[in-house]
Structure 1
Amino acid sequence: MQFPSAIALLTVLPSALACEKGTVFVLEDGAKLRNVIIGANQREGVYCLGSCTLEFVWFEDVCEDAISIKGGGTADIIGGGAYKAADKLIQHNGCGHVNIINFYANDYGKVYRSCGNCKGNCRRSVHMEGTTAVNGGELMGINTNLGDKATYSNNCYPKVQCQGYNGCDKGNGACEPTKAGLC
């Protein structure tokens, strides 16, 4: 879906729906979403099921995750930003690469997190540049023991730029990732 010349504000009714049924946008492989403001009360903001591009997509009040990268390929997040997330803004569950360029985050736990305990966990990579983050925690969290890679430049952040974790595979039983130093 594209809104090439205007900004659209989208809101949804409060919902207890989980997974894709509570998601405002589900983007198929190759999709582009731009110039959208996703209002409060969404369960999940955007799912990318493959390679996707988000340009100038804003989230007023994040419930679960603003953006969930579910598939492989490359996800480009250019401009835009998010407010009020108790935990992650961008959750990377699929294998592949994420570029985060000129993003803004305010009041968050982590801007980007590679899934720490996904079933069939895999190697992922992320590049972040020109991101401004205030009133929050980690800019990026990656699973160094699984071979995740992070590159970054010209970011402004209050605490940790890149936190390493020991990720695990819940397909092998219940598990939680542990911190493993800076990356």
Structure 2
Amino acid sequence: MNRLIERVSFGVLLHAVLALVALFLAAQAQAAPGVRTVPSCTKVNVSATIEVPAGTTWDGTVVYGKWVCLVGTASNMKGTQSESQIPMFKLNNGATVKNVVIGDGSLGSGTNLAAGGADGVHCYGQCNITNVYWADVGEDAATAIKLSGVTSKLTISGGAAFKAADKVFQHNGDGTVVISDFYVDNVGKLYRSCGNCSTQYARKVTVSGVRMGTVSAGGVGVNSSYDSKSGIAGQYDVATISDLVYSGSKPKCITYVGTGKGSEPGKDTNSSNIARSCILK
């Protein structure tokens, strides 16, 4: 009987310990990072988009043997706000880019410096961006783009982004964008679901363990409703936000009425729509 009691007691204790460990690991995984700075890097000029084949990984510290900052030199890679900018990286389905700096961070503190960040990273389908730093965001830091037959998922983990005139991450395709363990400063927004793409989708974004410094607009921008011009009226985006550390006055979640190409999305102030689309934990 004593042995049975000992076994039961040990089992209960072990279960409790494992539960505490799980809670600790979960808390650690969601913890927002501290303030980050751009790693020291060697400048490398780039004149054309670097294409990463499907299912492969492009690791800057492996390709160059050290941290490099890639600076676009072509006229359409200067990192302006022009919609004609091409990306620094094109990630095909299943590709990963990691351990690299994009843009020249030495040109000043403004957000329209044309510092060679190009249009960041374009993800077609499902991609990973790991431990990448944007020293100066161009048009966007990264864009999720629909690939036929694939439900989009762009996962950004680690790294940081600085000096974005508008949003950092742009979600044009369907599916989900996941942002974790990330830092931004001197940017417009962390994320924006496309407000007026020619083909619209009800999108999802998950943000956990992110710290924001100075932002001019806010955290994530989602379409909490869509109008008749969008083609998906009655649908809506969902943002799930946890451990987003920010001490400024701008909202963590900004809601819009998504529309179609050629129209401009307006703000959605409907409280019910906001509640269903902005889930802050």
Q: Which runs of 5 or more structure 2 residues have no equivalent in the other structure?
A: 1-57, 104-114, 226-234
**Runs of 4 or more consecutive aligned structure 1 residues displaced over 3 Å after TM superposition:** 3-6, 16-21
Please tell me whether Structure 1 or Structure 2 has the larger radius of gyration of its CA atoms.
Answer: 2
- The Cα offsets for residues 116-167 of structure 1, whole Å up to 9 and x where unpaired, read as 0000111100000111111103110001113111101111122211111100
The residue type equivalent to 1:138 in the other structure is G
1:13 is aligned to 73
Determine if the alignment matches structure 1 residue 169 to structure 2 residue 169.
no
- The Cα offsets for residues 26-74 of structure 1, whole Å up to 9 and x where unpaired, read as 0001001110100231320100011000011111111210111112421
**Residue 41 of structure 1 aligns to a residue in which SS?**
coil
User: Identity rate of aligned residues, in percent?
Assistant: 38
1:2 is aligned to 59
Aligned residue runs from structure 1 range 1-183, under 5 A:
1-3=58-60, 6-13=66-73, 15-16=75-76, 22-39=86-103, 40-71=115-146, 72-136=151-215, 137-145=217-225, 146-157=235-246, 158=248, 159-170=250-261, 174-181=262-269, 182=274, 183=278
Shift of 1:16: 3.5
The structure carrying a bigger strand percent of its residues is: 1
The residue type equivalent to 1:29 in the other structure is N
Shift of 1:7: 2.7
Q: RMSD over aligned Cα, in angstroms?
A: 1.8
Q: TM-score with structure 1 length normalisation?
A: 0.91
Whether the aligned pair in 1 keeps the contact of 2:193 and 2:223 (CA below 8 Å) is yes
Q: Which runs of 5 or more structure 1 residues have no equivalent in the other structure?
A: none
Whether the aligned pair in 1 keeps the contact of 2:101 and 2:133 (CA below 8 Å) is yes
The structure carrying a bigger helix percent of its residues is: 2
Shift of 1:2: 2.2
**Residue 121 of structure 1 aligns to a residue in which SS?**
coil
CA distance in 2, matches of 1:156, 1:93: 26
CA distance in 2, matches of 1:82, 1:55: 13
Q: TM-score with structure 2 length normalisation?
A: 0.60
